[in-house]
């Protein structure tokens, strides 16, 4: 009995080491034995993430996030430059059948929304901010409203008012057979650029629960790159979903803010690509590395928990063996 229990523990240990070695050998066989591949594999192995990663690498289940392809952003009150140019490609991507899940987001504001310039007089501005900015406030200015903590907001023209033509998805876009739709910016007092959370990082739209455990990564397309597309990509990375913006299927409000958003996305571990490049990337090391880096970043804070859990399991095993003896 004693021998059997000890042998079992030993076998479990050996099995886990063998599986790890097999994955490492296969990965090196596929991606080459470079320093980057080796160090990534050993970091994944140290955090017990090798098998999770390998499963993601071999079974891609990408999700597609189509952001705010609504009339007001295309040819309405807040038209994004060249927005019409991406519609055909967006439809091609939606129809590609490459995605496990397709989710459309809609900016969906009540008439008293805080982001509308027309509602500026409805709320008190932060006195300290106003003192430093005493001049006339214009459309597209960034203001700070009185709140604890003070709330920063860009003032936009009225747009995407709930149940109006402006908030409808553009008529050239057809949903696939199975599609989800999420609404954002529905709270009068806070804006929501990201399709996951509001600008305060709260107000979960429900998108996370639709995709979190069902996709290996997301591709983000639509409008506008420097605000909603970018913020959605940043939030995806933040909650551990590897995310890629396709620049040929998205457009920004302004060149400067688009550049700085793309830089922020890259700095946060997200990828910036194009539809043809992304499609060709599924077998590449760059995709595998993106998955690995996102896993490692998300589990960074859990490292001590892993060590703690492993130690407890080992101790309990010893106690069981000692007790049986």
Nearer Cβ to Zn ion, position 117 or 180?
117
**DSSP output for 191-217:** ---SSSS-TTS----SHHHHHTTT-SE
CB of 267 to Zn ion, least distance (A): 25
Give exposure, 120-152, as e/b (b: 16+ Cβ within 10 Å).
beebebbeeeeeeeeeeeeeeeebbbeeeeebe
Cβ contact 68:105 at 8 Å: yes
CB of 109 to Zn ion, least distance (A): 6
Cβ contact 184:94 at 8 Å: no
Active-site residue numbers?
68, 184, 228
Residue nearest to Zn ion (CB): 107
CB of 111 to Zn ion, least distance (A): 13
CB of 97 to Zn ion, least distance (A): 31
Residues 183-202 that bind Zn ion (CB under 5 A): 185
Nearer Cβ to Zn ion, position 194 or 271?
194
Count interface residues toward Zn ion (CB under 5 A).
2
Region from 40-48, 63-71, 92-100, 182-190 binding Zn ion, contact rule CB under 5 A: 182-190
CB of 185 to Zn ion, least distance (A): 5
Kindly report the CA angle at 148 between 146 and 154, in degrees rounded to 5? 50
**DSSP output for 206-257:** SHHHHHTTT-SEEEEEEE-IIIIIHHHHHHHHHTT--EEEEEEEEE-S-HHH
Question: What are φ and ψ of residue 3, in 5° steps?
Answer: -60, -40
Region from 66-74, 101-109, 217-225, 269-277 binding Zn ion, contact rule CB under 5 A: 101-109
Q: Which of 72, 107, 198, 235 binds Zn ion (CB under 5 A)?
A: 107
Nearer Cβ to Zn ion, position 156 or 278?
156
Residue-level length of the chain: 325
Nearer Cβ to Zn ion, position 101 or 106?
106
Nearer Cβ to Zn ion, position 76 or 185?
185
> Which token pair is 173?
């876009």
Nearer Cβ to Zn ion, position 40 or 115?
115
* Cα 177 off chain centre by: 23
CB of 70 to Zn ion, least distance (A): 9
Region from 94-102, 143-151, 179-187, 283-291 binding Zn ion, contact rule CB under 5 A: 179-187
Counting Cα atoms < 13 Å in the Cβ hemisphere of 48 gives 10
Distance between CA atoms of 41 and 96, rounded to whole angstroms? 32
Q: Is 226 in the site for Zn ion (CB under 5 A)?
A: no
Region from 65-73, 88-96, 103-111, 132-140 binding Zn ion, contact rule CB under 5 A: 103-111
Region from 87-95, 106-114, 164-172, 215-223 binding Zn ion, contact rule CB under 5 A: 106-114
Cβ contact 102:154 at 8 Å: no
Distance between CA atoms of 166 and 210, rounded to whole angstroms? 26
The residues binding Zn ion (CB under 5 A) are 107, 185
């Amino acid at each position: 009995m004693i021998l059997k229990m000890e042998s079992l523990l030993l076998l479990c240990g050996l099995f886990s080491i063998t599986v790890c070695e097999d994955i490492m050998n296969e990965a090196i066989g596929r991606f080459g034995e470079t320093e980057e591949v080796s160090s990534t594999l050993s970091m994944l192995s140290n955090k017990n993430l090798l098998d999770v990663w390998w499963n993601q690498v071999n079974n891609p289940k990408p999700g597609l996030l189509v952001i705010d392809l609504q009339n007001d952003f295309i040819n309405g009150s807040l038209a994004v430059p060249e927005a019409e140019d991406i519609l055909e490609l967006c439809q091609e991507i939606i129809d590609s059948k490459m995605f496990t899940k397709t989710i459309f987001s809609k900016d969906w504001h009540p008439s008293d929304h805080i982001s509308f310039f027309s509602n500026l007089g409805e709320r008190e501005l932060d006195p300290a901010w106003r003192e430093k900015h005493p001049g006339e406030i214009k459309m597209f200015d960034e203001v700070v409203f009185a709140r604890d903590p003070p709330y920063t907001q860009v003032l936009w023209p009225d747009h995407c008012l709930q149940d109006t033509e402006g908030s409808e998805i553009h008529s050239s876009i057809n949903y696939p057979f199975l599609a989800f739709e999420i609404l954002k910016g529905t709270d009068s007092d806070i804006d929501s650029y990201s399709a996951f959370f509001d600008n305060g990082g709260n107000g979960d739209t429900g998108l996370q629960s639709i995709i979190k455990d069902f996709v290996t990564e997301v591709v983000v397309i639509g409008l506008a790159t420097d605000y909603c597309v970018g913020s959605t990509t940043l939030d995806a990375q933040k909650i551990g979903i590897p995310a890629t913006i396709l620049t040929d299927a998205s457009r920004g409000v302004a060149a400067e803010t688009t550049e700085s958003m793309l830089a922020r996305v890259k700095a946060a571990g997200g990828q910036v690509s194009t539809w043809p490049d992304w499609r060709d990337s599924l077998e590449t090391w760059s995709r595998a590395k993106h998955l690995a880096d996102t896993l490692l970043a998300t589990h960074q804070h859990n490292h001590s928990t892993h060590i703690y859990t492993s130690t407890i399991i080992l101790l309990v095993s010893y106690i069981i063996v000692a007790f049986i003896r």
